Structures are given as structure tokens and as C-alpha cells.
Amino acid sequence: MIAVFLNMLLCKNTQLFVRFMILCLVTTHLVAAPAKPIDKLKLVWVAHDASISLARVSKKYTELTGIEVEVIMLPYGPGWHSRIAAEFAAGGDGFDLAVWDSQSVAEFADGNHIELLNSYIENSSSLSLSDLDENSLKRYSEYPEGSKYIWTIPINQDAVGLMYRKDLFESPVERAKFQDRYGYPLALPKTYKELRDIAEFFTRPEEALYGWAQFAAQEYDFASSAANNFIWSYGGELWNHKTNEIVGYLDSPASVDGLTKYIEMFSYTPDKERSWGYLEISEAFKQGHLAMAMQWYVFFDEMDDTNKSKYATATGFANLPGAIGRDNLFRRQIMLGGQGIGINRYSTKRKQAWHFIEWFMQRTQQVEYTKTAKTALKSISQDPNWQTLNLENKSFSEALNHVNDYWRLPEYIKLLEIYQQEITSAIHGRKSPKLSLSMAARRQEIVLTKAGYKITRTTNIPEVPDKIVDPVGQKLKNISRAVNP
């Protein structure tokens, strides 16, 4: 800068010299000016009991620091993801923190839109990786797989579960009728064959009662997050993550078996159920129109709330069943849900955002928060008191032993849109289950090829591809009544 100054004097360029001095003064003022204290952090999430709980708990943070935490709650669906993705694409700081689905970590990390949290954690005196469940970090935080790069802190673990009417299942009259009709006792279903029997038994349109409800809408991930439970449990796969193959896995005979069974279950649902999402299912169950239904665990809390549901005291929760596949092995695979919280890289409040995360993840705050949420903080999730805090926590902990997930790739949204289109085509009878999965597999492989993935072909892919992709099949004894037709 001194050299430039002298050169200007020698050249006697007075006008340029004056401009230069003004620039120096302004720059010095900007550098020297004290940083304006922040008074607000903005956080984007979907609207449900967990986000409401976070907003409630964060008021204590405001009392301590004077910093308001504004929780922007969006409807569950594509608008939630789009709001976050659009802000990132614009390099905007419209929010400082966001909570997104587990599958979106790859998309946002690969796009360099979010802060890598490793250094924050390493320098923290109040939060370490050892405080968090290792499997949860793999599911919600790490990308690429096995890299140890952490992009989010898991704050809302979730999975698809089963809710049912205890009053119907425990009725001596219903139990006797079911035994006479099906030849085995009425109990919680262990397999999808049993689920079908029970759903058929309780489907009574003349009483405005139906045996079952499941996600089916084409929006976001509704239909596929329901169908996946069937596809995986029958031994199918979405892809081979080791070879990047989709053809031969998504459209395998086992996957077709699973999708076929899923579609058959619409015989026992309300007439308009083929376009339902989680909200419609919850409302129908609260009104007493469903004997059983699938639902995300994050919404279970409102189902046993007497202020929200007429059948709250009659509602029970359990894991989804499994299936015996064409290889005679039993599998129970459950769709993973849930989210981690991350920091917007374009925010000017990144350090303050991390400070909030540190504070929020302390046990005192988490005890309050997890009255309606499922944390990955081990001191809470492994606490026997939390396991018995409500009707669903114990069941949820068991569900985590069986979870599976979508592709954890930056191309997740493109793959999902194709999958949703083809699944809903099968739901509405426009294509057969086999054709819809075949079309989806081929379209998705085009996406991967264009993105530069190398697809290595496997010879002799088995009819049940679970056998070669992270196999979970097992032989079971004393489950003869659950054998699939």
C-alpha cells in the first residue's frame, strides 16, 4: 500500500490520490468497527411436535443470551426441502440453521452449502462425538459413508411404526371371531401376511371402519417411504451401493413381491386413501375409522393425547411387521426417518449458530425436548426412564435395530422423483408393479450415469438381492401361522 501511495505522489495524480485516501479511511473504519451483536437466529424445520418442542426449549436460550431463536415451521413435503435448497442455491443467509432429512446430507454437503462440523466438535468443551449414538451419526450426519466427516447433529431420530386400536385387539368378542375365521389368535402382526388378515377382518365400510392405512401420495417421499417397508422386508433392494447398480435390484422378483403386497393392502383402506399422506392418516385414526395404520413415530405423541384424539386411551404402538420371502427367510426392514441440524455456510452467524447447537444438546435441554422427540444423545436415549416415558419410546428403540434408508447420494431428489412417479403409477393401476419398478430402475441408472457414476454389473443377481447387499434374512422357528401365501 505504501508503494502505491508513493507512486501516486510521483505521478502527481491528485484525483486518484484523493480517492485512494478515502478508500483507505473507509476500509480502516470497516475493519476497526466492532461487530454488531446479533439478536436473532433463524432455523428452518418441518412443523410437528419435535419442532414445536425445540421452539419452546429455545426460549430459555433467549433468556440466557438475549438471542431469539425463530423456528420457521414448514409443512412436511417438497416445500420444506425446496425452501432449504433454494436458499442454498442462491448463496443466501435467509436462515442460519436448518434441519433436513437424512438423505439430503449428501446433496447439501456435496454442494458445499453447509458447514463441516468436525472442527466445531473438536474445539467444543461441552459436546463430543462420544456423547452421540454412533449408528445415529452414520445415519444422519456422516458423508461420504465411512469418511468420519460430520455435517449435522442428529436431533430427531424417526422411523415408520404401527399404531393400532387396543380396544379392538383386546375385545373378547373380536378375538373369538378372528380365531374362528383365521385359525390363529388375534395379536399384533409379526408378518405382512398377518397384517393383511387382520386388516381384512376389521374392514367394515358399513361401520365406517377400515383395517389399514398407509402413505400413498406422490408428493415428496410419501408413497415410496411406505412401499419400501414391504420391498425390503420381502428381500428386495433399491440398489447395490457397492456397484451402483439399480437394474436387477429395484426390479428384482423380491422387490416386485414387496410392491405387490403393498398395493394389495389398499383393499382394506378407505376409498380415497391412495392419495393420503401422514396428515390424513392421523385424522382418520383420531376419528376411529382405522383399526391399524402406519405412521412416523414423530407423530405418535399426538395420537395418545386426549386433547387431540377421541381414541387416545385406546391407542397402542408397535413396530411394523416383517415378511418371509421367496427364499423362506424372515426379514423386518423399516423405513428410516428423522433429521439432523446443520449450519448454513452462507450465514454470517455461524459461530453463534454452533453455540446454540452446543447449548441445545446438553442434557438439561434434551430432557425437556425429548418429551416429544427422539434424540441421539446417549445419556437420554439409553436412559431407562426415557424408555418408559411414554407408550412408544420402547417400541421406537427396537425399531432402530431394523431401519434402512434411501440412497445417500447428491442425486437423491432426482432419484426420488422418478421412484415416486413409478410407484404411484402402480398404486393407481396405470402400470403393473413389475413394469413400474423396471422403468424406475432404468430411469434412475440414467441419472447416475449422467452424474458420472461407474456402474459395475453383477452376474447372476439372485431373485432376493438382500442376500448379497447387507443381508439381514434369518430363519425363524414357530412362526408357521405367518407364512406368506
Which residue stretches of 327-392 are H helix?
350-360, 363-369, 378-381, 384-387
Contact 332, 202 (CB under 8 A): no
Q: What is the pLDDT of residues 29-56, one digit of tens each?
A: 333 334 567 899 999 999 999 999 999 9
Q: Is residue 364 part of a domain?
A: yes
pTM over 0.85: yes
- The three-class DSSP label of residue 107 is helix
Contact 279, 219 (CB under 8 A): no
Do 436 and 356 share a structural domain?
Answer: no
What's the pLDDT score for residue 299? 94
375: nearest Cα among 339, 410, 405, 399: 339
Do 233 and 313 share a structural domain?
Answer: yes
Do 399 and 257 share a structural domain?
Answer: no
What's the pLDDT score for residue 479? 56
Contact 418, 229 (CB under 8 A): no
Do 311 and 223 share a structural domain?
Answer: yes
Strands (E), 49-139: 68-74, 97-101
Of how many residues is the chain composed?
Answer: 485
Q: At what angle do helices 172-182 and 192-202 cross, to 10 degrees?
A: 120
Task: Tell me the helix, strand and coil percentages in the chain, rounded to 5.
Answer: 50, 15, 35
Q: Is residue 33 part of a domain?
A: no
Kindly indicate the confidence band of residue 477, based on its pLDDT and cuts at 50, 70 and 90. Answer: confident
Residues near 157 by beta carbon (within 8 Å), at least 6 away in sequence: 136, 139, 140, 338, 374, 375, 376, 381, 396, 400
Residues near 216 by beta carbon (within 8 Å), at least 6 away in sequence: 222, 223, 226, 266, 273, 274, 275, 276, 277, 424, 427
Q: Is residue 13 part of a domain?
A: no
The pLDDT of residue 12 is above 90:
no
Final residue before a domain boundary, out of 349, 380, 404 = 404
Q: What is the pLDDT of residues 263-277, one digit of tens each?
A: 999 999 999 899 999
Do 264 and 372 share a structural domain?
Answer: no
For residue 418, the domain's CATH number is 3.40.190.10
Indicate left, alpha or beta for 146 from its phi (over 0: left) and psi (-120 to 50: alpha).
left
Do 432 and 382 share a structural domain?
Answer: no
Final residue before a domain boundary, out of 404, 435, 459 = 404
The pLDDT of residue 484 is above 70:
no
Do 460 and 344 share a structural domain?
Answer: no
Do 169 and 294 share a structural domain?
Answer: yes
Angstrom CA distances, 106 to 103, 115, 342, 353, stand at 7, 13, 12, 21
What's the pLDDT score for residue 476? 80
Do 396 and 281 share a structural domain?
Answer: no
Q: What is the pLDDT of residues 165-212, one digit of tens each?
A: 999 999 999 999 999 999 999 999 999 999 999 999 999 999 999 999
Angstrom CA distances, 25 to 16, 30, 31, 76, stand at 14, 9, 10, 50
Q: Domain total for the chain?
A: 2
Question: What is the domain range of residue 175?
Answer: 159-335+409-482
- Give the C-alpha separation, 441 to 457, whole Å: 14
Q: Is residue 396 part of a domain?
A: yes
C-alpha cell at 462: 439372485
Final residue before a domain boundary, out of 352, 372, 404 = 404
What's the pLDDT score for residue 31? 38
Q: Is residue 23 part of a domain?
A: no
- H or E segment to which residue 164 belongs: strand 153-165
The pLDDT of residue 8 is above 60:
no
Do 454 and 428 share a structural domain?
Answer: yes
Instruction: Output 20 or 101, whichever has higher pLDDT.
Output: 101
Q: Is residue 182 part of a domain?
A: yes
Do 452 and 394 share a structural domain?
Answer: no
Q: Is residue 20 part of a domain?
A: no
The pLDDT of residue 11 is above 60:
no
Q: Is residue 91 part of a domain?
A: yes
Do 194 and 272 share a structural domain?
Answer: yes
